[in-house]
């Protein structure tokens, strides 16, 4: 049986938001967005929760009600790919990767992605190294699952200066997940909504108020 860890990438600089996205207060409770995301995914069976962050105060400010490991980015200043690599290093098996600016993450989708991670070849070996949704024609590298086996491909990209979060996927076995597979679980695919700006955060608050 696969073992899953939750990895939340909270290492961005939040320039467009103007404040730390992981600590945005979620109405009506006022709890930090990071804690809100962890709670939304609490039904997913997890070995551990890993927060990749360069903010040494986040552990105190996030107010998580469940144990978590806070890790500094092992590859600073290379963008989200460095955060993915940091998480992979800390995972025993599979990592469930999400960004800290996804307030509408849907546990039903992650339950489904986890079932795909358990698929095997005819000889009983692991079939996939990565489970990655494609939404609107774009890969979703920070709403995806990665097995520890992707680490050599990531480190190769980093060593050659490739920093795109999807750059290593060409070198691993990827199970691409289509919109058609996901819409029965999340009709409007709100799970993939990013709040990168104050305007997007206002829209997220409106959607949360509507019960999404």
User: pTM to 2 decimals?
Assistant: 0.95
* Total H helices, total E strands in the chain: 7, 10
DSSP conformation class of 104: T
Task: Give the contacts of 168 (CB within 8 A, at least 6 positions apart).
Answer: 81, 150, 153, 154, 156, 157, 162
N- to C-terminal Cα distance for the chain? Answer: 31
- Residue 27 and residue 46: Cα distance in Å, rounded? 26
- The mean per-residue pLDDT over the stretch 119-144 comes to 96
Name the H helices within the chain: 33-40, 58-61, 80-90, 107-117, 151-159, 179-182, 198-209
- Convert the pLDDT of each residue in 36-63 to its tens digit: 999 999 999 999 999 999 999 999 999 9
Q: Tell me: the pLDDT tens digits for 12-33?
A: 666 778 788 999 999 988 999 9
Confidence grade of residue 181 (pLDDT, cut at 50, 70, 90): very high
- What pLDDT is attached to residue 38? 97
- Calpha distance 119→126 (Å, rounded): 7
CATH number of the domain to which 55 belongs: 3.90.550.10
Q: Which residues contact 198 (CB under 8 A, 6 or more apart)?
A: 17, 18
> 96: which strand partners?
6, 145
Contacts of 74 (CB under 8 A, 6+ apart): 82, 85, 86, 89
d(CA 69, CA 52): 8
Alpha-carbon Rg of the chain, whole angstroms? 16
pLDDT of residue 29: 87
Residue 83, burial from CB neighbour count under 10 angstroms (0-12, 13-18, 19+): buried
Q: Mean pLDDT for the chain?
A: 94
Domain that residue 199 falls in: 4-209
Domain total in the chain = 1
The answer to whether residue 11 scores a pLDDT higher than 90 is: no
């Amino acid at each position: 049986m696969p073992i899953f860890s939750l990895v939340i990438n909270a290492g961005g600089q939040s320039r467009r938001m103007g404040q730390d996205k992981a600590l945005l207060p979620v109405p009506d409770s006022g709890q930090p967005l990071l804690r809100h995301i962890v709670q939304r995914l609490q039904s997913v069976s997890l070995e551990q929760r890993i927060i990749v962050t360069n903010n040494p105060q986040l552990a105190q400010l996030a107010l998580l009600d469940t144990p978590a490991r806070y890790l500094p980015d092992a590859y600073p200043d290379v963008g989200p790919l460095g955060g993915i690599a940091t998480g992979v290093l800390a995972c025993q098996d599979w990592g469930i990767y999400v960004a800290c600016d996804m307030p509408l993450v849907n546990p039903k989708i992650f339950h489904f992605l986890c079932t795909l991670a358990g698929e095997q070849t005819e000889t009983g070996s692991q079939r996939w190294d990565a489970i990655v949704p494609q939404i609107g024609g774009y890969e979703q590298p920070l709403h995806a699952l990665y097995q520890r086996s992707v680490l050599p491909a990531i480190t190769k990209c980093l060593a050659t200066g490739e920093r795109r979060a999807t750059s290593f996927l060409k070198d691993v076995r990827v199970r691409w997940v289509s919109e058609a597979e996901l819409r029965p679980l999340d009709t409007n695919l709100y799970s993939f909504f990013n709040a990168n700006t104050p305007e997007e955060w206002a829209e997220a608050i409106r959607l949360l108020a509507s019960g999404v």
